[in-house]
């Protein structure tokens, strides 16, 4: 640390070290914004290095490799690193650097901005980096500029960003981690990030976006980034407080001590207090998994995924849950399911297989064409089950599908509202899943299928569960066997 004498050689050393390493800069200027003694857990250096690696490409005007998603528990210095210290450090390397920092409300974004400005105004920083000066005529909590063309802008979700084009954008907690996040607020945050904030770039090929947050909901902004991560467009860093399979990248599990990500700040006692606030609260904000371990109704870890399927089934069905209109966040889903008769200790039992899932948002004509094409693909031995919604419209829709499938074994099943809501109707199906009595044939549809089941009945969509439950009910209908089961055919 720099001495009170501010020796010239010491200042030069600090300048050289801090310009070279963002992590060293964070350590050097920590005392300016925090009176608490630092605890340099391994994840801080790791996040600093990730941010610096992305920034180095910006400094050279090189095309970005990816955007960044960081899911991490509260109280882990994430805002200090990514929202407060980072834009200041970037000015040491690129004085004209332009930065947008946002949070769920403008006041939080402003507070981060003020702390960034406090670092620059500090005596220590000015001794070391006197070339970084804030313009007198552009010095506010929301927006301040330096004398070399760089600026830092703070904005809340759905706030004004017109006219601002950044070299780097950081989204720090776009939803209130303390709650009150309605479906409308989640949708608003997602749409603003995708449709508005993502356009505020100096160069869309160069400017990265970094999202850092604890998980709040299945469909929170993290989910949008995770989908892009599967396509290689986002690097996902996920650091649950306790060791779990959610760690991303998995190699980071080696840093966990006694199963804890940060055994000082997130020790066992602290995590127990968090868990006492609620299973979902702990699972989402500390384990970065916005569902209780294993899922709600469906214990999705009980699904068995395999590349192979039996050669013989007692019965195979394709069950369709049809969306009323194209779009509107509803999907038409056709689940192909088979029931296999197994023997164990001289007793027979049924084991169920999900063989394929067709899923899309189609208008009525497209939908009927796809249902017919799928029936031809499946073959006439496969029973086609059509869910009939209550009311005359549902009956007419089901009858239209039946007429569209001449020569096939088609059944319509009316929704029995006397059985209660979707949860009650899915209960027999979930019991078999939770008993480990379901296998999935490995396919591209697996992830979406499992995710919907994991969060049911709080899933963003419910169509795959409805379709699979319909198929299960048909597969579970009694089958009369005559003679030996040996060599039975589907």
Q: Mind listing the pLDDT tens digit for each residue in 203-216?
A: 999 999 999 999 98
Average pLDDT over every residue of 60-89: 97
The pLDDT-based confidence of 482 (bands split at 50, 70, 90) is very low
User: Domain check: are 198 and 122 in the same one?
Assistant: yes
User: Residue 453's pLDDT band (boundaries 50, 70, 90)?
Assistant: very high
Q: What is the predicted pLDDT for the residue at 294? A: 63
Is 273 in the same domain as 321? Answer: no
pLDDT bracket for residue 391 (50, 70, 90): confident
Domain assignment of residue 253, yes or no: yes
Region 380-390: mean pLDDT is 90
**pLDDT (tens digit, 9 = 90+) per residue, 32-57?**
999 989 999 999 999 999 999 999 99
Q: What is the mean pLDDT of the chain?
A: 90
Enclosing domain of residue 311: 300-475
| Distance between CA atoms of residues 267 and 257, nearest Å | 10
Phi and psi at residue 171, in whole multiples of 5°?
-105, 110
Which tokens go with 94? 């690129």
Are 126 and 103 members of one domain? yes
Instruction: Choose one of 223, 251, 285: the last residue of a domain.
Output: 285
Does 205 share its domain with 329?
Answer: no
Whether the pLDDT of residue 489 is over 80: the answer is no
- With respect to residue 1, please indicate whether it lies within any of the assigned structural domains: no
Cβ atoms within 10 Å of 328's Cβ, excluding its own = 9
Q: Is residue 486 part of a domain?
A: no
245 and 309 share one domain: no
- The pLDDT of residue 353 is 96
Say if residue 4's pLDDT is above 80: no
pLDDT at 88 over 90: yes
Q: What is the pLDDT of residue 423?
A: 79
Q: Are residues 250 and 370 in the same domain?
A: no
Residue 490 in any domain: the answer is no
Pure H helices in 182-325: 183-195, 221-229, 268-276, 279-285
* Pair (46, 92) in one structural domain: yes
Residue 480 scores a pLDDT above 60: no
Question: Is the domain of 259 the same as that of 312?
Answer: no
Final residue belonging to a domain, choices 259, 285, 311: 285
Report CA-CA distances (Å) from 149 to 48, 145, 224: 25, 7, 33
Residue 266 falls within a domain, yes or no? yes
**pLDDT at 437 exceeding the cut of 50:** yes
Q: Is 144 helix (H, G, I), strand (E, B) or coil?
A: strand
Residue 271 gets which letter from DSSP? H
Residue at which a domain ends, from 285, 314, 344: 285
Cβ atoms of 266 and 75 within 8 Å: the answer is yes
Give the strands of the sheet with 410-414, arranged side by side.
304-306, 438-441, 347-360, 332-344, 315-321, 383-388, 410-414
The lowest-confidence range among 89-98, 323-332, 356-365, 396-405 is 323-332
Length of the chain: 490
C-beta separation of 284 from 214 below 8 A: yes
Which pLDDT band, with edges at 50, 70 and 90, does 279 fall under?
confident
Give the per-residue pLDDT at 417: 61
Specify whether 314 is located in the same domain as 261.
no
Q: Is residue 466 part of a domain?
A: yes
Position 478 scores a pLDDT of 60
CA distances from residue 426 to 298, 453, 473 in whole angstroms, order as listed: 10, 10, 9
Render pLDDT for 215-266 as a digit per residue (tens, 0 to 9): 988 889 999 999 999 999 999 999 999 999 999 999 999 999 999 999 999 9
Residues 74-80, mean pLDDT to the nearest whole number: 95
480 assigned to some structural domain? no
Name which residue leads in pLDDT, 253 or 346.
Answer: 253
Q: What is the percent of the chain where pLDDT is above 90? A: 73
CA distance 213 to 403: 51
Over residues 72-94, mean pLDDT: 97
Which CATH number is 411's domain given? 3.30.420.240
- Quick one: pLDDT band at residue 483, thresholds 50, 70, 90? very low
Helix-, strand-, coil-residue percentages of the chain, each rounded to 5: 40, 20, 40
Query: Any idea what the CATH number is for the domain that residue 142 is in?
Result: 3.40.50.300
- Domain annotation covers residue 100: yes
pLDDT at 198 over 60: yes
Q: How many structural domains does the chain have? A: 2
Q: What is the pTM of this model?
A: 0.72
Same domain, 77 and 186: yes
Residues 42 and 72 reside in one and the same domain: yes
pLDDT of 328 over the 70 cut:
no
Tell whether the model's pLDDT for residue 170 goes beyond 60.
yes
Collapsing DSSP to helix, strand or coil, 243 comes out as coil
Q: Residue 481: which pLDDT band, with cuts at 50, 70 and 90?
A: very low
State the pLDDT at residue 180. Answer: 66
Are residue 113 and residue 238 in the same domain, yes or no? yes
Residues 222/211, Cβ–Cβ less than 8 Å: yes
């Amino acid at each position: 640390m720099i001495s009170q004498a501010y020796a010239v050689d010491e200042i030069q050393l600090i300048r050289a070290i801090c310009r070279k390493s963002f992590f060293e800069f964070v350590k050097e200027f920590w005392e300016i914004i925090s009176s608490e003694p630092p605890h340099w857990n391994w994840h801080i250096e790791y996040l600093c290095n990730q941010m610096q690696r992305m920034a180095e490409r910006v400094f050279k005007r090189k095309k970005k490799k990816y955007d960044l998603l960081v899911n991490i528990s509260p109280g882990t210095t994430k805002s200090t690193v990514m929202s407060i210290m980072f834009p200041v450090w970037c000015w040491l390397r690129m004085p004209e650097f332009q930065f947008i920092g946002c949070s769920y409300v403008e006041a939080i974004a402003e507070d981060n901005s003020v702390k960034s400005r406090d670092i620059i105004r500090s005596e220590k920083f000015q001794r070391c980096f006197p070339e970084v000066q804030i313009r007198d005529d552009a010095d506010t909590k929301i927006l301040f500029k330096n004398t070399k063309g760089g600026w830092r802008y703070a904005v809340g979700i759905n706030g004004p960003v017109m006219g601002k084009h950044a070299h780097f954008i950081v989204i720090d907690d776009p939803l209130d981690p303390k709650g009150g996040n309605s479906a409308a607020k989640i949708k608003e945050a997602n749409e603003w990030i995708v449709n508005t904030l993502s356009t505020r770039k100096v160069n869309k090929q160069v400017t990265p976006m970094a999202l850092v947050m604890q998980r709040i909901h299945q469909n929170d902004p993290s989910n949008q980034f995770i989908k892009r991560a599967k396509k290689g467009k986002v690097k996902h860093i996920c650091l649950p407080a306790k060791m779990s399979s959610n760690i991303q990248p998995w190699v980071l599990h080696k840093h966990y001590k006694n199963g804890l990500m940060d055994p000082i700040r997130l020790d066992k006692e602290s995590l127990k207090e968090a868990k006492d606030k609620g299973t979902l609260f702990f699972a989402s904000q500390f384990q970065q998994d916005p569902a209780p371990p294993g899922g709600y109704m469906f214990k999705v870890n009980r699904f068995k995924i395999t590349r192979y399927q039996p050669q013989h089934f007692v019965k195979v069905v394709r069950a369709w849950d049809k969306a009323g209109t194209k779009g509107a966040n509803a999907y038409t889903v056709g689940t192909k399911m088979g029931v296999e008769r197994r023997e164990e200790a001289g007793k027979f039992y049924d084991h169920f297989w999900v063989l394929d899932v067709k899923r899309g948002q189609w208008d009525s004509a497209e939908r009927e064409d796809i249902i017919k094409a799928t029936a031809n693909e499946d073959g006439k031995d496969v029973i086609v089950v059509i869910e009939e919604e209550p009311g005359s419209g549902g009956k007419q829709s089901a009858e239209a599908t039946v007429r569209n499938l001449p020569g096939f074994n088609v059944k319509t099943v009316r929704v029995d509202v006397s059985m209660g809501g979707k949860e009650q109707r899915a209960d027999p199906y979930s019991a078999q899943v939770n008993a480990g009595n379901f296998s999935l044939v490995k396919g591209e549809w697996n992830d979406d299928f499992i995710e919907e089941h994991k969060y049911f009945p709080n899933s963003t969509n419910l169509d795959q569960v409805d379709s699979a439950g319909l198929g299960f009910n048909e597969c579970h209908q009694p089958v009369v066997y005559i003679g030996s089961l040996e060599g039975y055919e589907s």
